[in-house]
Amino acid sequence: MEEPSAAEVCEIAVNLDDVSPEVVGHAVDALLEAGALDVWTTPITMKKQRPGVCLSLLCKPEDRDRLARKVIELTGSFGVRYRRWDRLVLARRFDKVQTALGPVRLKFGMLDGRIITAKPEYDDAAALAEQNGVPVRYVLDEARALAQALLMGEAEA
């Protein structure tokens, strides 16, 4: 993928004040597994000052109805809201760096042929941290530094 892409997505949202945190967590995992592009929760205050959570997800327009029904099944909600969004998605390039503890994949975000951002893959860093008994932030910091060095070398070339 060379250029950023424009895409239309749907956001589905539901406010919940009578669902346990375990059910919300399960719903997040199940919705991602069912094809949601992203799922997140936001703490909210509902009527009668009850604490609640807004469960939101992004999906492809063709998945909207299926995932809306899945949200209702998973949460017991009486309904959901949805709307369409346009979004700009950076082109991506992938590489790998060798940290002191092992390899970590990097994801580069490209805009107009330039690298705008670089991020180490968390799962790689977490696995190395777990295997070596160190905090994940140490592995992420080293991978970011190596990514920066890689970018600086590219800028000089």
Q: How confident is the model at residue 155 (pLDDT cuts 50, 70, 90)?
A: very low
Query: Looking at domain 7-88, does it have CATH number 3.30.70.100?
Result: no
pLDDT at 10: 98
pLDDT on residue 156 = 46
Residues 17-27: tens digit of each pLDDT: 999 999 999 99
Q: What are 97-153's pLDDT values in tens digits?
A: 999 999 999 999 999 888 889 999 999 999 999 999 999 999 999 999 999 988 887
pLDDT in tens, 87-99: 999 999 999 999 9
Superfamily of structural domain 91-156: mk0293 like domain (3.10.20.300)
Report the candidate in 51, 67, 50 with the shortest Cα–Cα distance to residue 13: 67
CA-closest candidate to residue 151, choices 106, 112, 121: 106
| Percent of the chain with pLDDT strictly greater than 90 | 85
* pLDDT of 65: 98
Q: Which two tokens stand for residue 91?
A: 């082109």
What is the domain partition of the chain in residue ranges? 7-88, 91-156
- 49: alpha, beta or left? (left if phi > 0; alpha if psi -120 to 50): left
Mean pLDDT of the residues in the chain: 93
